[in-house]
């Protein structure tokens, strides 16, 4: 069970605050600082005002929830996603928005998972982080956090401007389940090949209203928190052999597979590959076809090399990212089981695919 502590940050008079925002710190580069020995250790958020005096100018009532043991994003998994979902769900009525500080390596997986977990969401949940720790002179952490807080608190006529799970990085706001990490050495860490940015931060915040999802009137937040981790990814490559594919498909208890194919959903037509995939489907394994390309979409049957996949029962994943496909399978299988998952996997649940 993930343990966490809560800290109230006195950066604004609560009576004068224009909005209440919760910051959830999970770990990652953002919140690291050097100790006297030169070792990176978790940052003490009670001192954040010293590093970010600008926070006082936002006129926000801020509360920080911090994991007691900060987690490198390489170690993040479903248990942490469940903790995040529960924290947001339990505090949903108390805050106008949420900012999640998270390591960049698996941020797109976590943002995708939360987008499926938080059904009926009508408030912003903004993921951000940094490529350099906040204590570094050239850190991108300050701008990312300040702007994420502005977005999380942005409202018009009492309605949130961006009622979605998003990722903000390097002046751009992406839909969380459409983004993926593309860069480890520069500040523009994320991209979204199949969906435009929801906002750009320049002299002012420029929201792309046409691209932002609107919640259904009167819909209440529902938390889907059950995960089935019995899923895997099979990435096809030229020269892939039977033994490699068999090793994945014979995984004990496997229930779902994300098949990363070429181009618009194409795969080698070797009979042994088709037979193995068909055999897995007959055993009840749901296979979801997504493209290895950062942009474009799967159209099974467009070429002869994908026609057989459709014929044996592989499900086309349209323009879903691998991160969205994997986490969606986990949530649907965990909550509803295989039969309902087959019906819902191709249905847009949080703007993750073009329906």
Location of structure tokens 């250790």 = 41
**In the structure encoding, which two tokens stand for residue 247, read together?**
């090793």
350 or 58: which leads in pLDDT: 350
The secondary structure of 201-221 as a DSSP string is ESSSEEE-GGGS--PPTTPPP
3-state SS assignment for residue 84: helix
pLDDT tens digit sequence for 215-265 = 888 899 999 999 999 999 999 999 999 999 999 999 999 999 999 999 999
In angstroms and rounded to an integer, the radius of gyration of the C-alpha atoms of the chain is 21
Using an 8 Å Cβ cutoff, are 41 and 135 in contact? Answer: no
Question: Is residue 95 pLDDT above 70, yes or no?
Answer: yes
Using an 8 Å Cβ cutoff, are 98 and 162 in contact? Answer: no
Q: Tell me the percentage of the chain whose pLDDT exceeds 90.
A: 70
Question: Is residue 181 pLDDT above 80, yes or no?
Answer: yes
pLDDT tens digit sequence for 270-292 = 999 999 999 999 999 999 999 99
What mean pLDDT comes out for the span 314-324? 97
What mean pLDDT comes out for the span 290-305? 90
3-state SS assignment for residue 39: coil
| Residue 70, pLDDT score | 84
Lowest pLDDT segment from 56-65, 105-114, 122-131, 145-154: 56-65
List 2, 6, 26, 29, catalytic entry: 29
The DSSP letter of residue 291 is: E
Give the closest residue to 256 by CA, choosing from 139, 334, 175, 348.
334
Using an 8 Å Cβ cutoff, are 76 and 129 in contact? Answer: no
Taking the alpha carbons at both ends of the chain, their separation in whole angstroms is 37
Q: How many residues does the chain have?
A: 355
* 101 to 4, 23, 128, 228, 274: CA distances (angstroms): 14, 7, 5, 25, 43
E strand residue ranges, 170-292: 172-175, 180-181, 190-191, 199-201, 205-207, 222-223, 231-235, 256-261, 286-291
Active site residue 54: no
| Domains of the chain, CATH where assigned | 4-223 (3.40.50.1170), 231-344 (3.40.50.40)
Lowest pLDDT segment from 22-26, 41-45, 147-151, 187-191: 41-45
**In the structure encoding, which two tokens stand for residue 95, read together?**
């805050």
What mean pLDDT comes out for the span 350-355? 93
pLDDT tens digit sequence for 73-93 = 899 999 999 999 999 999 999
| Residue 7, pLDDT score | 77
Question: Is residue 336 pLDDT above 90, yes or no?
Answer: yes
| Residue 133, pLDDT score | 73
- Full-model pTM: 0.93
pLDDT tens digit sequence for 183-193 = 887 778 899 99
The secondary structure of 26-52 as a DSSP string is --SGGGEEE-TTS-EEE--GGGHHHH-
Half-sphere exposure of 41 (CA within 13 A, CB side): 8
Q: CB within 8 A of 112, min separation 6: which ones?
A: 176, 177, 321, 323, 324, 326, 327, 328, 352
Other beta carbons within 10 angstroms of residue 43's beta carbon come to: 21
Return the ∠ at Cα 302 (arms to 321 and 304), rounded to 5°.
115
Q: Order of strands across the sheet with 231-235? A: 231-235, 256-261, 286-291, 315-316
């Amino acid at each position: 069970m993930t343990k966490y502590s809560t800290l109230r940050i006195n950066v604004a008079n609560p009576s004068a605050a224009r909005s209440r925002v919760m910051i959830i710190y999970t770990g990652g580069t953002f919140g690291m600082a050097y100790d006297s020995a030169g070792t990176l250790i978790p940052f003490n958020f009670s001192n954040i005002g010293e590093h970010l005096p600008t926070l006082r100018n936002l006129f926000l009532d801020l509360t920080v929830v911090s994991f007691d043991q900060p987690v490198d994003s390489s170690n993040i998994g479903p248990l942490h996603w469940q903790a995040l979902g529960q924290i947001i769900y339990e505090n949903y009525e108390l805050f106008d928005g949420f900012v999640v500080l998270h390591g960049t390596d698996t941020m797109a997986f976590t943002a995708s998972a939360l987008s499926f977990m938080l059904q009926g969401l009508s408030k912003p949940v903004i993921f951000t982080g940094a490529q350099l720790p906040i204590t570094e002179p050239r850190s991108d952490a300050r701008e990312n956090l300040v702007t994420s807080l502005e977005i999380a608190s942005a409202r018009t006529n009492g309605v949130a401007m961006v009622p979605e799970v998003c990722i903000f990085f390097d002046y751009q706001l992406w839909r969380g389940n459409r983004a993926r990490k593309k860069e480890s050495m520069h500040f523009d860490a994320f991209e979204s090949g199949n969906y435009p940015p929801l906002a750009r931060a320049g002299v002012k915040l420029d929201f792309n209203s046409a691209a932002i999802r609107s919640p259904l009137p009167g819909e209440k937040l529902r938390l889907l928190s059950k995960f089935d981790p019995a899923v895997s990814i099979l990435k096809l490559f030229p020269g892939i052999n039977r033994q490699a594919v068999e090793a994945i498909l014979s995984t004990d208890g496997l229930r779902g597979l994300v098949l990363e194919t070429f181009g618009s959903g194409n795969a080698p037509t070797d009979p042994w590959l088709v037979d193995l995939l068909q055999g897995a489907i007959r055993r009840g394994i749901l296979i979801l076809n997504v493209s290895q390309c950062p942009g474009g979409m799967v159209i099974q049957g467009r070429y002869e090399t994908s026609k057989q996949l459709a014929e044996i029962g592989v499900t086309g994943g349209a323009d879903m990212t691998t991160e969205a496909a994997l986490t969606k399978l986990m949530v649907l299988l965990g909550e509803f089981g295989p039969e309902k998952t087959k019906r819902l996997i191709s249905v847009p649940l949080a703007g993750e695919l073009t329906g």
